[in-house]
């Protein structure tokens, strides 16, 4: 598991934007989600029992400790890896969860949302991906409703790469903080990466308060990817969803 986590962190940080990795999996057809586990021995976890995304429901009341955010300016580049549009972040930003510091590696987007909340799907979801020094992973998820334009997205979208494999430098004004809601109350569950190799043991921290994005912002992202990039919902099985 440790080896898989380390490989996952490397892929998440780099964006895995080479042509070979692009060809290994997709969101439809023979290389779609239902076949990920069979596409490579490395993807065995995609058939696991603790996979993400899920429909968050049946909440269990718990005394969840607040997430301590320490986000700085640090966006380096925005890239289109063929599966999403991703903003890579330089060292220096982190969250603290369970007394562990997780460094922010990158954030990326899915349209429509991968996770659902009480059966509701959202037109856009952001995943802020973090890793600890030990290789453990934590993902902060933020939902977007269609309404007024989002200023944080606007700054990043000005450099939106149109073609798979394309990357562009970003101005320092692009900040992860700008795609976080003011209210940091959250749901929590144990899950996995939502893309191959589907590594499990990921702490999922889903913000309760959604943000807004304009229809133009959502459509521009969807148009660049040419198809939905949401993995279907996975069985919750025996996992608790805490709030």
Q: Provide the 3-class DSSP secondary structure of residue 134.
A: coil
**From CA 91, how far away is CA 105, in angstroms rounded?**
8
Q: Would you say residue 231 lies in a domain?
A: no
pLDDT at position 171: 86
Looking at residues 200-209, what average pLDDT do you find?
A: 98
Q: What range defines the domain where residue 45 resides? A: 2-225
pLDDT tens digits for 21-66? 445 899 999 999 999 999 999 999 999 999 999 999 999 999 999 9
Residues 186-221: b if buried by 16+ CB within 10 A, e if exposed: bbbbebbbbbbbbbbbbbbbbbeebbebbeebbebb
Q: Of 4, 2, 3, which is closest to residue 193 (Cα–Cα)?
A: 4
List the structure tokens of 94.
């982190």
Q: Would you say residue 92 lies in a domain?
A: yes
Q: Would you say residue 236 lies in a domain?
A: no
For residue 129, pLDDT beyond 70 = yes
pLDDT at position 2: 45
pLDDT at position 173: 84
**What is the distance in angstroms between the CA of the first residue and the CA of the last residue of the chain?**
27
List the structure tokens of 81.
């890896």
> Is 116 a catalytic site residue?
no
For residue 16, pLDDT beyond 90 = no
For residue 195, pLDDT beyond 70 = yes
- Number of domains, the chain: 1
Q: Would you say residue 202 lies in a domain?
A: yes
Q: Would you say residue 232 lies in a domain?
A: no
Q: Assign residue 52 the CATH number of its domain.
A: 3.10.200.10
Quickly state the pLDDT bin for 10 (edges 50, 70, 90): very low
For residue 19, pLDDT beyond 50 = no
pLDDT at position 172: 81
Looking at residues 187-201, what average pLDDT do you find?
A: 98
The reported pTM is 0.92
Looking at residues 193-212, what average pLDDT do you find?
A: 98
Q: Would you say residue 241 lies in a domain?
A: no
List the structure tokens of 229.
């990039």
Q: Would you say residue 171 lies in a domain?
A: yes
The distance of Cα 154 from the centroid of its chain, to the nearest Å, equals 19
Looking at residues 82-111, what average pLDDT do you find?
A: 97
Q: Which of 83, 110, 116, 186 is catalytic?
A: 83
Peptide bond connecting 196 to the previous residue in cis, omega within 30 degrees of 0 = no
The region of weakest confidence among 20-24, 59-63, 93-97, 183-187 is 20-24
Looking at residues 180-196, what average pLDDT do you find?
A: 98
Mean pLDDT score across all residues of the chain: 92
Q: Would you say residue 39 lies in a domain?
A: yes
Q: Which residue has the higher pLDDT, 212 or 8?
A: 212
């Amino acid at each position: 598991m440790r080896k898989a986590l380390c490989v996952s962190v490397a892929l998440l940080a780099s964006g895995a934007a080479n042509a070979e990795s692009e060809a290994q999996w997709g969101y439809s057809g023979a290389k779609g989600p239902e076949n990920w586990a069979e596409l490579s021995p490395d993807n065995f976890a995609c058939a696991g029992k603790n996979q993400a995304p899920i429909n968050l429901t049946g909440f269990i009341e718990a005394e969840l400790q607040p997430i301590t955010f320490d986000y700085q300016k640090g966006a380096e580049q925005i890239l289109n890896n063929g599966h999403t549009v991703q903003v890579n972040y330089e060292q220096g930003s982190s969250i603290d969860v369970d007394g562990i510091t997780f460094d922010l590696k990158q954030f990326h987007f899915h349209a429509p949302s991968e996770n659902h909340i009480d059966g509701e799907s959202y037109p856009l979801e952001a995943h802020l991906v973090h890793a600890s020094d030990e290789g453990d992973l934590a993902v902060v998820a933020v939902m977007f409703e269609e309404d007024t334009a989002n200023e944080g997205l606007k700054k990043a979208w000005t450099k939106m790469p149109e073609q798979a494999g394309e990357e562009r430098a970003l101005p320092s004004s692009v900040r992860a903080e700008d795609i976080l809601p003011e209210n940091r109350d959250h749901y929590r569950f144990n899950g996995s990466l939502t893309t191959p190799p589907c590594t499990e043991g990921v702490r999922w921290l889903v913000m309760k308060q959604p943000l807004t994005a304009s229809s133009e912002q959502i459509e521009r992202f969807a148009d660049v990817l040419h198809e939905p990039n949401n993995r279907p919902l996975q069985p919750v099985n025996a996992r608790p969803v805490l709030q």
